Each structure stands twice: as structure tokens, then as C-alpha cells.
Amino acid sequence: MTDSTTSTLLRNVRAVLPHRVSERTNIFIQNGLISRVADSDPDEGSGAPAYERASDSPSTFGLEGLTLYPGFIDVHIHGAIGVDTMAADASDLNRVSGFLAAQGVTSWLPTLVPAPHADYSQAVIAINGAMNNQIGARILGVHYEGPFVNSAQCGALRSEYFKTYAAPDDLDALPLPSGEAARMITLAPEVAGGVELVRELSRRGWVVSIGHTRAGFELLDLAFDAGARHMTHFMNAMAPLHHRSPGPIAWGLSRDDVTCDVIADGIHLDPHMLQLLLKLKGAERLTLISDAIAAAGQGDGDYQIWGETITVKDSRTSNARGNIAGSVITMLDAVRLMISLGVTEVGVAGIAATNPARLLRLDQECGSIEEGKRADLVALDAQGNAVLTLIGGEVAFRKQ
């Protein structure tokens, strides 16, 4: 599907480009890539642009009234539509990918929670299977949320499976998808051996993100020097901001060289806090995540997830301990909330696509509407609903 040899023209489309919105652009797609982006002449008549005439009758989409964004990238998601990444097989993951494509998501990182080794293995076998037969939103690799995290900030994670780090062998407990798959991990540098762990993971090419943590400045600086540059669901599951005890939140706010991801569901973070984060970090240093669980897309109710009952009421999740247990939003919901808070369209493309692509070091390949990038695109209507999603230039979703 990604190696399409067809060509496609998106004609006279309103498109969110890296630094501006073009009101009328022709976007030409060949072999799954954006081959040309050219502002169209407002006086252009019925004659096709030269590069279109030169091609072999491309399929053309009229996208009047819609705005085209780079496809969204969700680097932290545990499942949706009843599928949990810890219990899924490859076809379950493909179903999630289909659901996500209808929500404007063009790639994602199945995210795993601390569990016995056999469960991790099973989950990665499923990821491998789905990656070998990609349908819908592309699976990029794996995100391990834990197991090297602080049990005092466990959130909804099961602390009986948390680990400390002694030697590189300990990493063998984390199975990996084969090939070039992206590898991301959320860890707390204060676990025994934590800074060495960051160093070893960085050496192995993992994207290291700090989360589920109570670490102080000194340790966080050491973790940064060892390769950690990002923070997971910033402000959630970390020691709160205190004026006499500056912890991870103060550190993340004070460092311009650290990026953060946020769950913009209006529940994990009050919208006023999201606005404060936009002011302090700027849209260029924020990434949206859904942190969605299997209940996403299923409505309110009780769900058996991660060995316990998670209740969803009025779109808010809680487990038996009363902790919030992930969200039930999609990236599209987060995008709509951020638009309502006044984030520009260029800013939205950054926090939903370009920044996560850069985080995963895939920004040369995807995450923006530029020549040479993968044609991963979503067209939204004025209400912020996905109307058309292209993945590698192929239609992955089209609203009926």
C-alpha cells in the first residue's frame, strides 16, 4: 500500500504548510510521496497545471471547503474500539489502525504497560505481524511506558511489574519489533541505575522520555546529559509543582531544550494549564498524545483492562484505586480542543504531526506537507471532522 505507483493530484486545496497556510495549493503525489507543492494561480482556468498535464492522468481530489493537514502521529496510545495493545493480535491492531485513520491519525506507536515478560512478548509478536501487513494508520514501532518507573507515581500502571536497572542484560526483557522500528520508552531516572539506563538506551537508539517520576533537578540534568530530551504526559504522573521543592514539572518548564507531550482531553490537564503550557513551552516544544485505552470509541461503561475494571463515565476513566486510567479521546479530539484554545493551524500541524515525527527522528520522512515527504495527509472540515485521510498517498479513509 505504501509503494503505490499511482499519481494523485489534490487540486486547489487549502493546506497547512510548515510555516504558513496556503489558501490554494496543488499537491501532487507520486509513488506515495509528495512530489510537488505549488501555490495555484487564483486565475487558473480549467487548464491543468503543467506538471499535471505531464503526468499520466492522475486521480484528482477536489477538497473545496476543507483544510489539509499533515497526518497526525500518536506516540502514546494503548488501544481503542475494545482492543488493548497488551492483549491484541495482529488483526486487532489492524482494526485499531483502521479506526485511527478515520480520526486523521496516519501513524502510531502501540504503547505497552508493565506486565510479565510473556505478555510483552505476545504484544510485540502482534506488533510485528501488524507491521508486516500494514492496514490503515501505520504502526511505527513500540513505546514502553515503564517498567523502569517510580511506584510512587504509578498512575494506572501496575507497580508489581516495575523494575530497576543493573546491567544491559536487563534490557533483554523488553522484546522489540524487527527491522527499523521506532523504539520509545518512558522511564523515571530515579529508579536504581536510572541514569546508566538512559545512557544505554540512548546508545541503542531508543527515544528516551522522562515520566512517572519524582526526580529533582540534579538527577534530571544527569538524565538529560545521558540522552533524555522529552517528557511523557507532562504534569500527569509526576511530582506536582511546588515552590520549595522544584521537581520534574519545574525542570520541564525551565528547559527550552526539553520537549513534552500532553494529553489534551480537558480532563488530564485543565484547559487553563494547557494554555499556560502553550505560553511557557510554545507549540514548537509540545506534542499531543491521546494516551487512549481500549475503551476509546466505545462510550461510557465498565471495561476489563490491565487485569482490573476501568470505568468510563462522561468520558473520564478511573480504576478501582480512583486513579485516572488513560483517556478515551483520539488525536482529533485533542486537535479540536487545542484549536478552541487558539492554537493556530500551523501550530496544530506542529503539535499533532511535525513535533512527534521529530521526536521519533522520522521528520525527514513524514510529519509535514513538503516535497519529498510521505503523503500522509488528513483533510478536515470546518467543524474539525476528518473527511479524507491519505496514507502513503492511498485513501485510508473517506467520509461517506
What is residue 40's DSSP assignment? P
Nearest to 155 by CA among 145, 163, 165, 166: 145
User: Could you tell me the CA-to-CA distances from 222 to 151, 219, 257 in Å, in that order?
Assistant: 21, 5, 14
Using CB under 5 A as the binding rule, whether residue 84 contacts Zn ion is answered as no
If binding means CB under 5 A, how many residues of this protein chain bind Zn ion?
2
Read out DSSP for 330-365?
-HHHHHHHHHHTT--HHHHHIIIIIHHHHHTT-TTT
Q: Which of 92, 145, 190, 265 binds Zn ion (CB under 5 A)?
A: 145
Pairing of strands 72-77, 79-80: unpaired
Q: Which lies closer to Zn ion via its Cβ, residue 234 or residue 397? A: 234
Q: Which lies closer to Zn ion via its Cβ, residue 92 or residue 291? A: 291
Choose one: 252-260, 267-275, 290-298, 389-397; the region binding Zn ion (CB under 5 A). Answer: 290-298
How many CB atoms are closer than 10 A to CB 251?
Answer: 23
Choose one: 10-18, 95-103, 137-145, 162-170; the region binding Zn ion (CB under 5 A). Answer: 137-145
How many CB atoms are closer than 10 A to CB 271?
Answer: 15
- Which residue numbers are catalytic? 291
Read out DSSP for 204-239?
TT-EEEE-SB---HHHHHHHHHHT--EESSTTTTBP
HSE, CB side, 13 Å, CA atoms: give it for residue 235. Answer: 17
Choose one: 9-17, 85-93, 209-217, 286-294; the region binding Zn ion (CB under 5 A). Answer: 286-294
End-to-end, the C-alpha distance of the chain in Å comes to 21
Pairing of strands 316-318, 308-313: antiparallel
Q: Which lies closer to Zn ion via its Cβ, residue 190 or residue 291? A: 291
Closest approach of Zn ion to the CB of residue 305, in Å: 12
User: Could you tell me the CA-to-CA distances from 394 to 15, 29, 59, 329 in Å, in that order?
Assistant: 18, 10, 11, 25
Q: Which of 84, 200, 261, 291 binds Zn ion (CB under 5 A)?
A: 291
Instruction: Give the cell for residue 25.
Output: 495549493
Determine the residue with CB nearest Zn ion.
291
Q: Which lies closer to Zn ion via its Cβ, residue 25 or residue 287? A: 287
Closest approach of Zn ion to the CB of residue 265, in Å: 12
Closest approach of Zn ion to the CB of residue 73, in Å: 16
Residue type present at position 174 = L
Instruction: Give the cell for residue 251.
Output: 525542570
Packing angle between helix 217-226 and helix 194-203, nearest 10 degrees?
Answer: 20
Q: Which lies closer to Zn ion via its Cβ, residue 13 or residue 331? A: 331
Give the separation between CA 312 and CA 303, rounded to whole angstroms: 8
Give the separation between CA 72 and CA 64, rounded to whole angstroms: 21
Residues at the interface with Zn ion (CB under 5 A): 145, 291
